[in-house]
């Protein structure tokens, strides 16, 4: 039987965890590595617009062609945006930046959705439109602070006050800022609680 003290902790932790970021990652070399849902001054797209962005990263040792894959901001709609080009290679250890700006007339690097700073989802699906390659569900984001894996490709997501669109993730000497951190519940004070994040 679980002590009532533990049940109370469960309730508190579940309540606390709900508004925060719940990463869901899947084994593989291709990952969603960093994103920004409220780009005020960080970086401009080729059209001079400070738009939302999503960075993919190839942690493997071979080229990955993402042409024909899908990106979405709604996991209920995996095929929202087709990466509509004949070939788009991410080399080993390379990063690739997409603009989440709903400006698809500007080319294949521009997605047909933006990211909600109040929190939503990003999903990357394979060319069959159903195989989930990677996803992240995130909470409230602040202007010019990105959210990404640190180090690149790891399962540890951090808010980053040194955004690195298209480059190696960097949390800086000051470390991550305290916003939208995923809550670790490893310290649940009872052995039967288990842990998740």
Closest Cα partner for 135 from 145, 149, 146?
149
To Ca ion, the closest distance from the beta carbon of 43 in angstroms equals 11
Q: Which is nearer to Ca ion, 169 or 180 (CB)?
A: 169
Can you give the chain as a three-state secondary structure string? CCCHHHHHHHHHHHHHHCCCCEEECCCCCEEEEEEECCCCCCCCCCCCCCCEEEEEEECCCCCEECCCCEEECCCCCCCCEECCCCCCEECCCCEEEEEEECCHHHCCCECCCECCCCCCEEEEECCCCCCEEEEEECCCCCCCCEEEECCCCCCCEEEECCCCCCCCCCCCCCCCCCCCCCCCCCCCCCHHHCCCC
Q: Which residues bind Ca ion (CB under 5 A)?
A: 34, 37, 45, 47, 49, 51-52, 55, 101, 103, 114-115, 164, 169
* Cβ 153 to Ca ion shortest distance, Å: 11
Q: How far is the CB of 186 from Ca ion (least distance, A)?
A: 27
Nearest approach in angstroms of CB 141 to Ca ion is 8
> Whole-number minimum distance, CB 50 to Ca ion, in Å?
9
How far apart CA 104 and CA 100 sit, in angstroms, is 9
């Amino acid at each position: 039987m679980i002590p009532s003290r533990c049940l109370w902790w469960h309730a508190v932790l579940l309540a606390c965890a709900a508004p925060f970021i719940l990463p869901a990652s899947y084994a593989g070399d291709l990952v969603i590595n960093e994103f920004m849902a409220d780009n005020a001054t960080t970086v401009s797209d080729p059209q001079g617009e400070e738009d939302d962005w999503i960075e993919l990263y190839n942690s493997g040792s071979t080229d990955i062609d993402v042409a024909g894959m899908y990106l979405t901001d709604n996991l209920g709609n995996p095929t929202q945006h087709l990466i509509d080009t004949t070939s788009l290679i991410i080399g080993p250890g390379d990063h690739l930046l997409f603009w989440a700006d709903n400006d698809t007339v500007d080319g294949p690097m521009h997605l047909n959705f933006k990211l909600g700073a109040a929190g939503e989802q990003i999903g990357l699906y394979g060319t069959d439109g159903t195989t989930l390659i990677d996803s992240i569900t995130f909470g409230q984001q602040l202007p010019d602070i990105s959210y990404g894996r640190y180090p690149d490709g790891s399962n540890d997501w951090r808010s980053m006050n040194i955004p690195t669109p298209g480059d190696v993730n960097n949390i800086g000497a000051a470390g991550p800022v305290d916003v939208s951190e995923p809550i670790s519940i490893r310290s649940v004070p009872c052995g039967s609680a288990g842990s998740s994040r």
